Homo-oligomer: A and B are copies of this chain.
Amino acid sequence: MDVDSRAARWEQRTEIPLFVASLVFMAAYATRVLAVGLAHWRDLCLWVMLALWAVFAADYLVRWRLGGQRFLRFVSTHFLHTVVVVLPLLRPLRIVPLYDVIQRRQGEPRLSLYARVISYASLSTLLLGFAGALAVFQQERGAPGATMTTFGDAVWWAASTLSTVGYGDITPVTRLGRTIAIGMMACGIGLLGAVTGSFSSWLMQTFTRGSDRKGPPGP
């Protein structure tokens, strides 16, 4: 790693607060999309989102300064981080740095490898699915010929998409809605595949261990 210890310490201290900030951002966005009647709340949420966006940008700039790279090089080596600053709804994708920071604090991992992959990747998928449902719903609401009329429809659509079931009873029809949906498929299906794969490996490991323990056949 060509990141010096000051950059590492900054990451160590800010990753968790920024993750919490991204949850607040998502909640503000959700309120803005869903609380149609409450104009005051929606304005408040807009301000909260802008403030958090400024915080994310400031963090990005501080990291660039601490890293000591030229800007374009920093952008290309921190590709995911750049995407996440532009679109804070995608911040749940930063599970690996978040995992890293949490593990460093805890010292010893308390869960088995599979349980850790399952829990982090599930959380990430859940948040991404929620953000995707919100973003697609915002595009689809009121579009002519839309089948997605309530937010419940959007959640149902997101679940059927991420699991690759894809009923097709509810689908986005607007150009932007479909673009967001393709991005959600690209990120989410990979993450959910990691969950399924880990679960499958864990089950197989459990069944192997079970047959080894048979040596001393119980008390």
Instruction: Give me the interface of A with B, judged by CB distance under 8 Å.
Output: 5, 8-9, 12, 96, 99-100, 103-104, 107-109, 113, 116-117, 120-121, 152, 156, 159-161, 163-169, 171, 175, 178, 181-182, 185-186, 189-190, 193-200, 203-204, 206-208, 210-211, 214, 217-219
Contacts and interface: CB of A to CB of B under 8 A. Distances in A.
**Copy count, this protein chain:** 4
Contacts of A5: 219
Nearest to A103: B210
A219 B3 CA distance: 13
B167 A171 contact: yes
Nearest to A120: B207
Minimum-distance CB pairs A-B, first 4: A167-B168, A165-B166, A168-B168, A194-B200
A164 to B, nearest CB: 5
A96 to B, nearest CB: 6
B164 A214 contact: no
Given A104-B218, A116-B211, A194-B199, 5 more contacts: A103-B210, A113-B204, A159-B185, A193-B196, A197-B197
Main secondary structure of the interface of A (DSSP, over half): helix
Contacts of A194: 199-200, 203-204
A206 B96 contact: yes
A159 B96 CA distance: 27
Contacts of A199: 190, 193-194
Contact of A100 (B100, B186, B210): B210
